[in-house]
């Protein structure tokens, strides 16, 4: 497939603002600042971030702890158990 212009010579260069990143993962992450994509979401208050480090920092400062995925799994298990308990007459 044809490449659009000489700017595409560097695969690590952002084709939106022209900045050159040190790796493809950095370029991917950088490009999210242009698309507005924020894949990292706080499970407590729902705020979204473009970088996992920012979300981690938000969680530590705002909610004072680490991720709550384990407690969520435990809660669903307890819910199933209580549902089974209420089935009997």
Binder of Zn ion out of 8, 12, 17, 74 (CB under 5 A): 17
Q: Tell me phi and psi for residue 49, to 5 degrees.
A: -135, 155
Q: Is 21 among the residues that bind Zn ion (CB under 5 A)?
A: no
Closest CA to 30 of 48, 17, 40, 41: 17
Binding flag, residue 7, Zn ion (CB under 5 A): no
43 vs 77 by CB, closer to Zn ion? 43
Q: Which is nearer to Zn ion, 42 or 54 (CB)?
A: 42
DSSP 3-state of 67? coil
Strand partners, 40: 49
**Binding positions for Zn ion, rule: CB under 5 A:** 14, 16-17, 42, 44-45, 62
């Amino acid at each position: 497939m044809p490449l659009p212009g000489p700017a595409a010579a560097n695969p690590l260069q952002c084709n939106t603002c022209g900045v050159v990143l040190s790796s493809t993962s950095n370029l991917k992450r950088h490009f999210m600042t242009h698309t507005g994509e924020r894949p990292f979401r706080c499970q407590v208050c729902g705020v979204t971030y473009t970088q996992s480090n920012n979300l981690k920092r938000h969680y530590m400062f705002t909610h004072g702890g680490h991720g709550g995925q384990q407690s969520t799994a435990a809660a669903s298990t307890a819910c199933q158990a209580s549902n089974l308990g209420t089935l009997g007459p």
